[in-house]
């Protein structure tokens, strides 16, 4: 294998353009697209491409932990934006201080959301874009779980809203709905100047994406709609099974609208999410993620993933029921 171009293959760029047009009605040019060796790395390099040390990034809490760690490694000042339960795990943008907005280079949000399982609305995205235009802040939108939604929810792209391409960059990964986590490929699309900055940074961090990954990604976008639908149906079945099992245990819960997680309050009189998860794994071998791993706003909660097969989920919840019943 030889080195591949930093810009990727014409086949994949064409597949991305066709996919955006087909799925979201968005027309893109190649200048609006950057290919990435995985979305996690690409989102981490946003901090280097779009901001200088000491500048402000507005980050959600709770959130995927690498949003925060990568911003801090890059020397940015991270402003905590709480996702509020009473707002459907959305932030109140009006609570962002004017001085923070003035200094912020970007605001990062993620829906369908990890860890809460919340999905967003066109109305909120329009509100977010309006705030971004008024403050001159770029929106970085992590759409990792774009198709993993349930019931009547329609997958959204922020770029489908009017004028969004001049205010936002949207990240997509092949790791979730397409089941290609080990292939390590992703892409971002949107604001042309921000995309150009990401392309420049990528030159320093990688020597082209693995050729088979480029080919596999193009096939996934061009021919993978049925496979994605089957994967989403499987996740929906697991969600329903876990809902029933949680009801059986008597563990209060919210019904996730998307992504692959339940965001649960600690049961009973429990107050320490880390201690609870440690005791659970020691007694049952079942691993839940402490909510505090996702930020201060996650304290007192745990994240349960439905990425395991249904029999494994049923066995895990059964073990948990025995322990919770004894405790």
User: What are the pLDDT digits (tens) for 201-212?
Assistant: 999 988 899 999
pLDDT at residue 326 in the model: 58
Which numeric CATH code is attached to 226-326?
Answer: 3.90.1150.10
CA distance linking residue 304 with residue 313, whole number of Å:
10
Backbone angles phi, psi at 118, to 5 degrees: -75, 150
With cut-offs at 50, 70 and 90, classify the pLDDT of residue 316: very high
Dmax of the chain from CA atoms? Answer: 60
Answer for the pair 56, 105: CB distance below 8 angstroms, yes or no. yes
With cut-offs at 50, 70 and 90, classify the pLDDT of residue 323: confident
Taking residues 293-301, report their average pLDDT. Answer: 98
Answer for the pair 59, 38: CB distance below 8 angstroms, yes or no. no
pLDDT at residue 207 in the model: 87
pLDDT at 327 over 60: no
User: What are the pLDDT digits (tens) for 117-165?
Assistant: 999 999 999 999 999 999 999 999 999 999 999 999 999 999 999 999 9
With cut-offs at 50, 70 and 90, classify the pLDDT of residue 324: confident
Across the beta sheet with 33-36, the strand order is 33-36, 186-190, 168-173, 138-142, 104-110, 56-61, 77-82
Q: What residue ranges do the domains of the chain occupy?
A: 10-223, 226-326
Backbone angles phi, psi at 138, to 5 degrees: -75, 140
pLDDT at residue 192 in the model: 98
- Among 237, 293, 223, 197, which Cα is nearest to 22's? 223
Q: Is the whole model's pTM more than 0.85, yes or no? A: yes
Answer for the pair 64, 108: CB distance below 8 angstroms, yes or no. no
Same fold, 10-223 and 226-326: no
Percentage of the chain surpassing pLDDT 90? 94
pLDDT at residue 6 in the model: 84
CATH number (1.20.120.160, 3.40.640.10, 3.40.1180.10, 3.30.360.10) of 10-223 reads 3.40.640.10
- ∠ CA 135-138-139, nearest 5°, is 110
SS3 245: helix
Across the beta sheet with 301-305, the strand order is 261-265, 301-305, 289-290
pLDDT at residue 15 in the model: 98
CA distance linking residue 259 with residue 149, whole number of Å:
6
CA distance linking residue 35 with residue 39, whole number of Å:
9
Taking residues 182-200, report their average pLDDT. Answer: 97
Taking residues 296-309, report their average pLDDT. Answer: 98
Question: Across-strand partners of 34?
Answer: 188
With cut-offs at 50, 70 and 90, classify the pLDDT of residue 77: very high
pLDDT at 236 over 90: yes
With cut-offs at 50, 70 and 90, classify the pLDDT of residue 100: very high
State the chain's mean pLDDT as an integer. Answer: 96
Answer for the pair 294, 305: CB distance below 8 angstroms, yes or no. no
Give the position of tokens 């991270």: 78
């Amino acid at each position: 294998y030889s080195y591949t171009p930093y810009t990727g293959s014409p086949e994949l760029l064409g597949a991305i353009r066709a996919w955006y047009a087909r799925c979201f009605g968005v027309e893109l040019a190649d200048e609006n697209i950057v290919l990435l060796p995985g979305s996690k790395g690409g989102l981490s390099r946003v901090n280097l491409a779009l901001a200088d040390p000491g500048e402000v990034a507005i980050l959600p809490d709770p959130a995927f932990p690498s949003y925060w760690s990568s911003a801090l490694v890059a020397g940015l000042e991270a402003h905590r934006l709480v996702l509020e339960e009473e707002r459907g795990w959305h932030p109140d943008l009006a609570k962002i201080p004017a001085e923070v907005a003035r200094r912020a280079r970007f605001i990062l949000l993620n829906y369908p959301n990890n860890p809460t399982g919340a999905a967003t609305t066109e109305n909120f995205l329009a509100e977010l874009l309006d705030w971004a235009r008024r403050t001159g802040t770029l929106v970085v939108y992590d759409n990792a779980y774009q198709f993993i939604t349930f019931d009547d929810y329609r997958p959204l792209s922020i770029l489908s809203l009017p004028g969004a391409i001049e205010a936002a960059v949207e990240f997509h990964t092949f790791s979730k709905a397409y089941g290609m986590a080990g292939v390590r490929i992703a892409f971002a699309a949107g604001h042309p100047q921000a995309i150009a900055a990401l392309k420049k940074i990528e030159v320093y961090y990688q020597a082209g994406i693995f050729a088979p990954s480029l080919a596999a990604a193009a096939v996934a976008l061009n021919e993978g709609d049925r496979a994605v639908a089957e994967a989403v149906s499987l996740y929906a079945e697991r969600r329903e099974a876990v809902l029933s099992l949680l009801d059986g245990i008597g563990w209060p819960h919210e019904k996730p609208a998307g992504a692959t997680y339940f965001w649960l309050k600690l049961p009973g009189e429990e107050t320490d999410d880390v201690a609870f998860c440690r005791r659970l794994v020691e007694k049952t071998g079942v691993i839940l993620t402490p909510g505090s791993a996702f930020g201060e706003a996650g304290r007192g909660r745990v994240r349960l993933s439905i990425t395991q097969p249904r029999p494994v989920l049923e066995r895990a919840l059964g073990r948990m029921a025995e322990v919770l019943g004894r405790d």
